[in-house]
A and B are shown apart, each in its own frame.
Chain A
């Protein structure tokens, strides 16, 4: 419904005028982004930033992606979720497992995430076609069908596709120079992490999003706890000895570099922006405003919620892959439910429903909490950080409850409404406005 095209047309036609071009939000954003990218890249290249600060920047980017996903779910769709770290964990472990296996000459991870995800997707399309043939399928029935589809698809992948396609994948990738194949594997691993987070959120979301927002929050908290417990037992209950359960997974290749981080972050920001500017995005936001009203204008509320939830979780999964290959070590303790409040705090801090605020707060959060305060608080006082930030949060709620940025967006992210046609809108149809605004007061009193 909301078209970006007119503004693009303006940009193209304004090519001859550099001053005007500079004022276009898209140009500023792309230019600023590239500058930021080049700056960090140069600082890293010339060792101005040491590994510690490199880690802080990467961490900041990863947590920003997680928080953006949560902002989509909570800030824009209105579904209070504490499950974001669960999906972050799924993304981390999935991606790490793929690359770990690859570096131990086992292509099964790649086959599973690549072909398994595709097969799951195909099965899902099949199941929704099948269920679409019936009127009003009960939620639990839908859920059961999708779970069975997932299990069958993954079982087929592991049982048949891995033995048959594994050698092919190995053959193709080993034919390439090793740095190219490593990059491809890393790319597939990130994709796989995101896809698995998406699949998990889809299955979890079908029954649970039916609950009201608060109950949904509690259920997602449960989800985070379950994931943590499963990760503690990856080598006993789950068949992944390489994840080493509660001892923590080691030996993950450190493949995350600044271009990967930056590209993922830009991808997340652009996808989210374009989604929110589309009619689907409007549907998502109107679900937050008033579910009943959304239903009455023809929005499929359940689908909008699931969509926002899955996309938000995919962002978290992607961030997980990035973070795992920077840390090179994963521990279930990193994903416990206390941690799952981090993205929530960032989102609230930056402003619910503001992408700009989330990006800012995500970086600032890690930069201050894990960077500056960790380094400059006197020895033995590091843990006081966790006294400082709740205090800041408290003050924030008292002084500026709408968050740092409120609902402000920087120009590139802001939604531009299409130009009004001359006939349709004449704001302030002269004279009339004043007299009728006088009426409003009167009406307001009578009506209220």
Chain B
């Protein structure tokens, strides 16, 4: 099967600081792929570069067979490559409903937008109850649900998720990961970045280990989970 996303030899830097040097990986259609690694390994940088929030120094990003290196961020969203950012970044003065509508900003099919919203409410019944509440008044878990829901409103083909479990209570982390599985079952391809390697590997098909800006290891989720180095570094022995 052709890869939906293919990243080749990606180099990215913040000013003089080089964050990524030569990251290469691919995500096939329908897969859940996870990037795991320590703080500062370049996981978030990779996602931000794919969604064009950061410029590419060298290398290329292919999406659905098309070179998207250098395409504007807003046009990336139109290609249904959607990024759920780290730290939620919902619009706090807008209501839940308005936040979700913002997620569908690039779409004009009104009826289907309603259907997508219904689908989001099916996945996150909690959001339906909070529909008229402003985003800022939600709890952290609900905000994360809203961030994922907003991304789903854009009808993603590939969903980039940056630390969806960050700062959440263990029970909510499980809930979020159940939803990720559910979204994947609906046919959305997911690239997941996580510090919580155990949870990430439990939902992923394949994974890559990122260290200091380069891929160190790759393999199926089981292989990585069984790898002694990975166990020692990320799974706590």
Q: Please provide the chain B residues from 81 to 132 with a CB less than 8 Å away from any CB of chain A in the complex.
A: 82-83, 85, 89-94, 97-98, 101-106, 114, 117-118, 121, 125-126, 128-129, 131-132
Please indicate the chain A residues that have their CB under 8 angstroms from the CB of B223 in the complex: none
Please indicate the chain B residues that have their CB under 8 angstroms from the CB of A289 in the complex: 91-94
Contact flag A293-B142 (CB < 8 Å), given A298-B78, A428-B129, A436-B126: no
Contact flag A447-B169 (CB < 8 Å), given A293-B91, A298-B154: yes
Please indicate the chain B residues that have their CB under 8 angstroms from the CB of A1 in the complex: 101, 104-105
Encoded as 1 (CB less than 8 Å from any A CB) or 0, chain B from 117 to 158 comes to 110010001101101100000111110000000100010000
Q: Does B23 contact A (CB under 8 A)?
A: no
Chain A contact-residue range equals: 35 or more
Bound complex: CA A293 to CA B147 (Å) = 10
Interchain CB contact under 8 A, B89 and A293: yes
Interchain CB contact under 8 A, B90 and A293: yes
Please indicate the chain A residues that have their CB under 8 angstroms from the CB of B97 in the complex: 417, 420, 425
Interchain CB contact under 8 A, B78 and A443: no
Closest Cβ of chain A to B87, distance in Å, is 9
Residue of B nearest to A439 (CB): B139
Interchain CB contact under 8 A, B89 and A433: no
Encoded as 1 (CB less than 8 Å from any B CB) or 0, chain A from 413 to 431 comes to 0000100110111111100
Please indicate the chain B residues that have their CB under 8 angstroms from the CB of A432 in the complex: 125, 129
Q: How many A-B contacts are there with CB distance less than 8 Å?
A: 109
Bound complex: CA A154 to CA B11 (Å) = 44
Please indicate the chain A residues that have their CB under 8 angstroms from the CB of B102 in the complex: 282, 286, 297
Q: Does A399 contact B (CB under 8 A)?
A: no
Please indicate the chain B residues that have their CB under 8 angstroms from the CB of A427 in the complex: 129, 131-132
Bound complex: CA A282 to CA B105 (Å) = 9
Closest Cβ of chain A to B89, distance in Å, is 4
- The winner among A279, A286, A293, A424 for most chain B CB atoms within 10 A is A293
Interchain CB contact under 8 A, B73 and A447: no
Bound complex: CA A421 to CA B121 (Å) = 14
Please indicate the chain B residues that have their CB under 8 angstroms from the CB of A439 in the complex: 139
Q: Does A118 contact B (CB under 8 A)?
A: no
Q: Does B228 contact A (CB under 8 A)?
A: no
Interchain CB contact under 8 A, B77 and A296: yes
Q: Please provide the chain A residues from 268 to 297 with a CB less than 8 Å away from any CB of chain B in the complex.
A: 279, 282-283, 286, 289-290, 292-293, 295-297
Q: Does B38 contact A (CB under 8 A)?
A: no
Encoded as 1 (CB less than 8 Å from any A CB) or 0, chain B from 188 to 199 comes to 000000000000
Bound complex: CA A286 to CA B135 (Å) = 13
Contact flag A296-B89 (CB < 8 Å), given A423-B118, A443-B169, A444-B139: yes
Q: Does A446 contact B (CB under 8 A)?
A: yes
Residue of B nearest to A425 (CB): B131
Q: Which of A297, A417, A425, A444 contacts B128 (CB 8 A)?
A: A425
Bound complex: CA A440 to CA B71 (Å) = 40
Bound complex: CA A421 to CA B115 (Å) = 11
Bound complex: CA A411 to CA B169 (Å) = 42
Bound complex: CA A440 to CA B98 (Å) = 21
Q: Does B219 contact A (CB under 8 A)?
A: no
Residue of B nearest to A298 (CB): B77
Interchain CB contact under 8 A, B129 and A135: no
Bound complex: CA A136 to CA B75 (Å) = 12
Interchain CB contact under 8 A, B71 and A135: yes
Contact flag A424-B77 (CB < 8 Å), given A429-B128, A447-B139: no
Bound complex: CA A421 to CA B74 (Å) = 29
Q: Does B72 contact A (CB under 8 A)?
A: yes
Bound complex: CA A444 to CA B82 (Å) = 27
Closest Cβ of chain B to A131, distance in Å, is 12
Bound complex: CA A444 to CA B140 (Å) = 6
Interchain CB contact under 8 A, A440 and B142: yes
Interchain CB contact under 8 A, B85 and A292: yes
Q: Which of B73, B91, B142 contacts A295 (CB 8 A)?
A: B73
Bound complex: CA A432 to CA B71 (Å) = 45
Closest Cβ of chain A to B55, distance in Å, is 8
Bound complex: CA A295 to CA B9 (Å) = 25
Q: Does B3 contact A (CB under 8 A)?
A: no
Q: Which of B82, B89, B118, B142 contacts A290 (CB 8 A)?
A: B89
Residue of B nearest to A293 (CB): B89
Interchain CB contact under 8 A, A446 and B74: no
Q: Which of A283, A292, A293, A446 contacts B169 (CB 8 A)?
A: A446
Please indicate the chain A residues that have their CB under 8 angstroms from the CB of B85 in the complex: 292-293, 296
Please indicate the chain A residues that have their CB under 8 angstroms from the CB of B83 in the complex: 296
Bound complex: CA A424 to CA B114 (Å) = 7
Interchain CB contact under 8 A, B141 and A447: yes
Interchain CB contact under 8 A, A292 and B77: no
Q: Does A203 contact B (CB under 8 A)?
A: no
Bound complex: CA A296 to CA B54 (Å) = 12
Q: Does B51 contact A (CB under 8 A)?
A: yes
Bound complex: CA A424 to CA B92 (Å) = 22
Residue of A nearest to B73 (CB): A295
Q: Does B203 contact A (CB under 8 A)?
A: no
Q: Does A127 contact B (CB under 8 A)?
A: no
Encoded as 1 (CB less than 8 Å from any B CB) or 0, chain A from 286 to 314 comes to 10011011011111110000000000000
Bound complex: CA A282 to CA B91 (Å) = 11
Residue of B nearest to A300 (CB): B74
Q: Does A448 contact B (CB under 8 A)?
A: yes
Q: Does B233 contact A (CB under 8 A)?
A: no
Please indicate the chain B residues that have their CB under 8 angstroms from the CB of A425 in the complex: 97, 128, 131
Task: List the 7 closest pairs (A to B, CB-CB), nearest first.
Answer: A447-B140, A298-B77, A298-B106, A446-B169, A443-B139, A293-B89, A135-B70
Q: What are 22 contact pairs spanning A and B, CB under 8 A?
A: A1-B101, A1-B105, A135-B71, A286-B102, A289-B92, A292-B53, A293-B91, A296-B82, A296-B89, A298-B78, A299-B74, A300-B72, A421-B114, A424-B117, A424-B118, A425-B131, A427-B132, A429-B129, A439-B139, A440-B138, A446-B168, A447-B168
Please give 4 more A-B residue pairs, beta carbons under 8 A apart, in addition to A135-B71, A295-B74, A447-B140.
A286-B94, A290-B89, A293-B89, A440-B142
